[in-house]
């Protein structure tokens, strides 16, 4: 199950018009605002793309199955759903902050009392479904991950990317960045293959 960048853009356009949880912005607005905050903070192109796509799992799920009663009573594991879809296109620098962005919330709730205090009731409910606040040991294990710090920054952009009417660049701007990142992966694969054949020749 692999994606093309055109399919990702199409999904963001079609399913992105839906409301982002209980927030006053659409899924597409949320994605664009998150990417824009990452870009304004001077993040790498990979992190900007991760910010754009961090909730793509919600959209893939919405595409695959209509909402069912009681769906909010369980964790939708959206941080994992998009990974097989995105893996043929992007490196771990994009995939890992996406995979870790829910754990980043669990970590921030442990390490930053003000972060926990400002969570909305809906966010506290989803925190419980996602496994709750990290234990001390879980927090240590999380920070040992090479992409943990990026995931924590992404989480802060995620939390701020909910302001109705915030101007952002259009989706086309981020489609170009996705192509830039994907072509880097493609070039390193080609370089890897030619290195391999040089060794075997
Ligand atoms: Fe989000």
Q: What is the reported pLDDT for 11? A: 93
More confident residue, 197 or 14: 14
Q: Would the pLDDT of 195 be above 70?
A: no
More confident residue, 195 or 27: 27
Tens-digit pLDDT profile for residues 75-131:
778 889 999 999 999 999 999 999 999 999 999 999 999 998 988 887 888 899 999
Neighbours of ion ligand 1 (CB under 5 A): 55, 158
DSSP string, 5-55: HHHHHHHHHHGGGSB-TTSSSBHHHHHHHHHHHHHHTT--HHHHHHHHHTT
- Overall size of the chain counted in residues: 201
Give the domain range for residue 115.
5-200
Q: What is the 192 CA–ligand 1 centroid distance (Å)?
A: 34
Local confidence band at 175 (pLDDT 50, 70, 90 cut-offs): very high
Encoded tokens for 154? 């992404």
Q: What is the 27 CA–ligand 1 centroid distance (Å)?
A: 8
Q: Would the pLDDT of 1 be above 80?
A: no
Q: What is the reported pLDDT for 184? A: 80
CA distance 123 to 163: 16
Q: What is the 171 CA–ligand 1 centroid distance (Å)?
A: 16
Q: What is the 113 CA–ligand 1 centroid distance (Å)?
A: 20
Q: What is the reported pLDDT for 196? A: 65
**Count of structural domains, the chain:** 1
Q: What is the 193 CA–ligand 1 centroid distance (Å)?
A: 36
More confident residue, 26 or 74: 26
Q: What is the 201 CA–ligand 1 centroid distance (Å)?
A: 48
CATH of the domain at 10: 1.10.3210.10
Q: What is the 197 CA–ligand 1 centroid distance (Å)?
A: 42
Q: What is the 8 CA–ligand 1 centroid distance (Å)?
A: 16
CA distance 132 to 118: 15
Task: Mark 140-176 as b/e (b = at least 16 C-beta within 10 Å).
Answer: eebeeeebbebbbbbbbbbbebbeeeeebeebeebbe
DSSP string, 103-123: HHHHHHHHH-HHHHHT--HHH
């Amino acid at each position: 199950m692999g994606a093309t960048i055109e399919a990702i853009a199409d999904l963001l356009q079609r399913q992105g018009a839906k409301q982002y949880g209980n927030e006053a912005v659409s899924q597409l607005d949320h994605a664009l605002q998150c990417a824009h905050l990452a870009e304004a903070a001077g993040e790498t192109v990979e992190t900007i793309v991760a910010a754009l796509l961090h909730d793509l799992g919600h959209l893939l799920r919405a595409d695959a199955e209509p909402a069912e009663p009681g769906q909010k009573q369980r964790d939708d594991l959206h941080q994992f759903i998009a990974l097989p879809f995105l893996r043929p296109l992007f490196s771990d620098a994009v995939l890992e902050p996406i995979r870790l962005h829910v754990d980043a919330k669990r970590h921030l709730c442990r390490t930053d009392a003000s972060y926990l205090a400002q969570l909305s009731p809906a966010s506290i409910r989803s925190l419980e479904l996602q496994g709750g606040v990290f234990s001390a040991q879980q927090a240590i294990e999380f920070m040992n991950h090479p992409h943990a710090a990026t995931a924590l920054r992404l989480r802060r952009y995620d939390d701020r990317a909910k302001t109705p009417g915030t101007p952002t660049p259009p989706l086309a701007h981020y489609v170009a960045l996705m192509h830039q990142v994907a072509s880097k992966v493609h070039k390193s694969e080609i370089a890897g293959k030619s290195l391999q054949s040089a060794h075997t020749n």
